[in-house]
Amino acid sequence: MNPPVPFKRPTLAEALDAWKKLLAERGFATDITWIFEENLCFEKLNIEPGGFHFGFQTKFTPPSEDALEIAFDHFAETGARMVFYRLGDVPDKSICILLCDPWFEDKNNADGYIRHDDWKMSFHPGHTDGIEEITDLTRWLRRVKRDRTFHDFDFCMALATIDEIKIYGRPLAPYERFAQTMLDRLRRILGQ
């Protein structure tokens, strides 16, 4: 087994500067819209069995202004590789998502990931593809939430987790989420 390689996480500003520089070098927009789990929209493709189309939305679950900073700070505390991932573009903007998991450790240039090992980060600038912004509530409500193929995006942070960090100072454990849900239901039933 290889010993862990030492790394020093950058500040969010340093990481964003490096990310925007890479996007500019590739000819992509450096004005960025950051999205999170609740902003992803997977839809089944009728023309291809088992196929999916993905888009995004920020109309129905808009991220807070500090969501990226909170996600970055939380991910930076882990020993897992962080990834700045560009999903596509809309006019004059790159749509990006922050990912983090040891699963990305073996990803390299052949997979589209540009490694920055001294930061234990990778950048995935993607291709010149556009991404559709979903603004129709019916499409959003009918999005696929389960029974889809595993994707890199499954390692992003949820806005609900960001809310937990804001409220409790950390993400809640599953049993704590369940208990909070039950308490909320009891409060509604009792009218409190």
Delimit the domains of the chain by residue range: 12-157
Residue 1: its pLDDT value, please? 47
Q: Do residues 156 and 97 make contact, with C-beta atoms less than 8 angstroms apart?
A: yes
Helix (H, G, I), strand (E, B) or coil at 148: coil
Residue 138: its pLDDT value, please? 85
Residue 191: its pLDDT value, please? 76
Residue 178: its pLDDT value, please? 81
Residue 50: its pLDDT value, please? 62
Distance CA 158, CA 108 (A): 25
Residue 170: its pLDDT value, please? 83
Distance CA 40, CA 57 (A): 7
Residue 9: its pLDDT value, please? 92
Residues near 158 by beta carbon (within 8 Å), at least 6 away in sequence? 36, 37, 38
Residue 192: its pLDDT value, please? 64
Return averaged pLDDT per consecutive 10 residues of the chain, 192 residues in all.
73 97 95 92 70 82 94 92 94 94 92 93 88 86 70 82 86 81 84 70
Q: Do residues 103 and 150 make contact, with C-beta atoms less than 8 angstroms apart?
A: no
Give every strand in the sheet of 52-56, ordered side by side: 40-44, 52-56, 132-133
CA-based nearest residue to 37, from 155, 163, 124, 169: 155
In our burial notation (b when 16+ CB lie closer than 10 A, e otherwise), range 138-155 reads eebeebeeeebeeebbeb
Read off the tokens for 16.
């964003």
